[in-house]
């Protein structure tokens, strides 16, 4: 097959060729440069992995910021090698490495190779998945994955959805649809897209557990309802929404003239991994005629698990679902989706622009993803999950998640073995919440400062990274486990480091361990900054 060359380039002068080369455009003319430069970047990461001994270097903002002073972004380096050397110094040397087995902080996963390979294709071709005439097969790949996810969730034949940037965008879409749908049906309401918020909008309420994701409040604010619209529902002792408490909230709304537009059940809370009793919540939503949204950003990966998928029981009754593939599906960020049971409900986010997605095009059946998305320009993030399923398969993803859940149980037992570690609750998914608590310490303020100091010392040493949270106003540490390469010995080492740093903060003798990167001076500085 003869390569196509633009007519005005067929007889370009040598001088013009040089100018084109300088532009570094991804074109047929520069395909060899593309391959060479991409390979050089791969080699850089490949070589750098040998140098990653810890999940973090321990650098502070004050130490790293001076490296950026004096950089002139208007003075290009002109070649790849000095640019990569600079990038190594400014970024790679001090990046946080989620693949390291002792990174146990936030909901960041190591990523599977098919997803990484897909990123190369995505960035190179640069498809925008807003309209068919910009994406073609990409549109059908995304739609196939939405259909596959809907089938795994049990949402039915009329389900539909769209890929999003993450759980925050998906939850915003869910609350927007719930709000608009409610107002269209209300006798005093109307079409918010055309008329704006109705006079009763201050009475609209979103009911969610007290440990639901903060993005619900952000969504309420963006939708003109304010944070006060999110009504917290009490949890049981496992940090799951309590159905009797939900009923009480619904009855309270009726008494006070408040208007619930949605109930949000969480399948995998950020702190505890707790999964709300979706079956019972769905029954109440049907009884009261309220939209049920399930935020399964974290726990959605259970649909691939052979051992634990039953934990999502009831999710098939949801009106909408959030799911993040870049968490428990081990995909590179960003890779997420929002799904609805009835495809017509996506019409609440539709706007037809004559230059892009005219109404006639939709009526003719052209599958333009922009018709059901808050985004216009949209990356082809679906390709990452597509290649993962086509190369590895869903069972392999589920197997990795099963490993992580099993490890979490082992980690819980390791924590319970320590007389100076206080665990808060048995794990529901793959998080562990606990605190270092020597038996002689009782004051909550001292305990809070101690957890912060331990975390600062760990971060400074770079030997491990853990997260922190507050529960009932008190400070706790947290393991978030999403790495199948993390083992019980890694958790044991991190627990020992926590205990060692804890006793060092208290200046209490403790059995020594191997020396860490942090010096006494830098450790004291980190403690002082938080203590």
> Two tokens at 473?
């106003």
CA 241 to the chain's CA centroid: 22
* Res 8: pLDDT: 44
- Tell me if 316 is assigned to some domain: yes
Residues 270 and 179 in one domain: yes
- The CATH number for 314's domain is 3.40.640.10
Q: DSSP string covering 260-293, please?
A: EEEEEEEBS-TTT--B--HHHHHHHHHHHT-EEE
Per-residue confidence band for 440, with pLDDT thresholds at 50, 70 and 90: confident
Per-residue confidence band for 441, with pLDDT thresholds at 50, 70 and 90: confident
Average pLDDT over residues 513-518: 36
DSSP 257: T
* Res 505: pLDDT: 93
Average pLDDT over residues 266-294: 98
- Tell me if 38 is assigned to some domain: no
Residues 208 and 274 in one domain: yes
Q: Is the peptide bond before 348 cis (omega within 30 degrees of 0)?
A: no
* Dist CA 315 CA 339 (whole Å): 12
pLDDT tens column, 46-64: 999 999 999 999 999 999 9
Residues 215 and 320 in one domain: yes
pLDDT tens column, 488-503: 999 999 999 999 999 9
Residues 311 and 416 in one domain: no
* Res 20: pLDDT: 37
**Rounded mean pLDDT of the chain?**
92
Read off the pTM. Answer: 0.91
Average pLDDT over residues 152-158: 98
Residues 157 and 248 in one domain: yes
**Burial bucket for residue 509 (CB in 10 Å: 0-12, 13-18, 19+):** exposed
- The CATH number for 520's domain is 3.90.1150.170
pLDDT tens column, 359-372: 999 999 999 999 99
Percent of the chain with pLDDT over 90: 89
- Tell me if 4 is assigned to some domain: no
Per-residue confidence band for 511, with pLDDT thresholds at 50, 70 and 90: very low
- Does an H or E element contain 259, and which? strand 259-266
Residues 184 and 330 in one domain: yes
Helices (H), strands (E): how many in the chain? 19, 12
Among residues 345, 373, 391, the one where a domain terminates is: 391
- Tell me if 119 is assigned to some domain: no
Residues 230 and 242 in one domain: yes
pLDDT-wise least confident of 3-7, 113-117, 348-352: 3-7
pLDDT tens column, 4-37: 444 444 444 443 333 335 678 999 999 999 999 9
* Res 392: pLDDT: 98
Residues 379 and 452 in one domain: no
* Dist CA 123 CA 386 (whole Å): 16
Among residues 352, 367, 391, the one where a domain terminates is: 391
Residues 362 and 462 in one domain: no
* Res 510: pLDDT: 56
* Res 523: pLDDT: 36
The answer to whether residues 294 and 159 touch, using CB atoms and an 8 Å cutoff, is: no
How many domains, in total, are found in the chain?
2
Residues of the domain holding 487: 395-530
* Res 23: pLDDT: 72
Average pLDDT over residues 435-448: 88
- Tell me if 287 is assigned to some domain: yes
Angle at 448 between CA 515 and CA 61, to 5 degrees: 60
Residues 483 and 510 in one domain: yes
Among residues 391, 413, 429, the one where a domain terminates is: 391
């Amino acid at each position: 097959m003869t390569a196509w060359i633009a007519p005005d380039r067929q007889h370009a002068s040598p001088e013009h060729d040089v100018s084109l080369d300088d532009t570094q455009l991804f074109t047929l003319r520069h395909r060899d440069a593309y391959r060479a430069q991409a390979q050089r970047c791969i080699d850089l990461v490949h070589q750098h992995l040998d140098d990653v001994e810890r999940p973090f270097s321990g650098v502070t903002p004050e130490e790293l910021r001076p490296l950026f002073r004096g950089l002139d972004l208007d003075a290009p380096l002109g070649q790849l090698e000095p640019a990569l050397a600079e990038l190594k110094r400014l970024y790679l040397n001090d990046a946080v490495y989620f693949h390291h087995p002792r990174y146990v902080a936030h909901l960041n996963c190591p990523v599977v190779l098919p997803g990484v390979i897909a990123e190369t294709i995505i960035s190179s071709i640069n498809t925008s998945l807003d309209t068919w005439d910009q994406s073609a097969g990409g549109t059908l790949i995304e739609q196939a994955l939405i259909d596959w996810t809907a089938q795994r969730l049990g949402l039915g034949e009329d389900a539909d959805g769209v890929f999003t940037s993450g759980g925050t965008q998906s939850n915003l879409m869910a609350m927007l649809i719930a709000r608009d749908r409610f107002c269209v049906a209300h006798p005093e309401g109307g079409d918010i897209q055309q008329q704006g918020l109705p006079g009763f909008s201050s009475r609209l309420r979103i009911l969610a557990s007290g440990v639901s994701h903060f993005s619900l409040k952000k969504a309420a604010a963006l939708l003109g309802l304010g944070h006060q619209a999110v009504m917290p529902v009490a949890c049981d002792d496992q940090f799951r929404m309590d159905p009797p408490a939900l009923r009480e909230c619904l009855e309270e709304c009726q008494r006070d003239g408040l208007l619930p537009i949605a109930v949000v059940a969480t399948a995998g809370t950020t702190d505890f991994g707790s999964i709300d009793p979706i079956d019972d919540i769905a029954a109440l939503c049907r009884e009261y005629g309220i939209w049920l949204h399930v935020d399964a950003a974290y726990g959605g990966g259970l649909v691939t698990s052979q051992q634990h998928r039953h934990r999502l029981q009831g999710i098939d009754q949801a009106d909408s679902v959030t799911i993040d593939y870049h968490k428990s599906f081990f995909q590179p960020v960003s890779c997420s989706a929002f799904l609805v049971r009835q495809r017509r409900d996506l019409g609440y986010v539709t706007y037809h622009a004559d230059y892009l997605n005219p109404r006639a095009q939709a009526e003719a059946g052209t599958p333009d993803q922009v018709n059901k998305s808050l985004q216009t320009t949209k990356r082809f993030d679906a390709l990452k999950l597509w290649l993962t399923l086509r190369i590895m398969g869903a069972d392999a993803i589920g197997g990795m998640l099963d490993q992580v859940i099993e490890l979490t149980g082992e980690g819980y037992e390791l924590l319970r073995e320590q007389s100076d570690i206080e665990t808060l609750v048995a794990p529901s998914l793959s998080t562990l919440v606990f605190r270092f608590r020597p038996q002689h310490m009782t004051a909550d303020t001292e305990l809070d400062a101690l957890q912060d100091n331990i975390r600062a010392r760990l971060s400074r040493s770079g030997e491990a990274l853990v997260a922190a949270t507050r529960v009932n106003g008190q400070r706790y540490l947290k393991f978030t486990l999403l790495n199948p390469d993390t083992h019980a010995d890694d958790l044991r080492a991190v627990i020992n480091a926590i205990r060692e740093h804890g006793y060092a903060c208290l200046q209490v003798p403790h059995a020594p361990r191997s020396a860490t990167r942090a010096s006494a001076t830098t450790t004291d500085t980190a403690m002082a900054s938080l203590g």
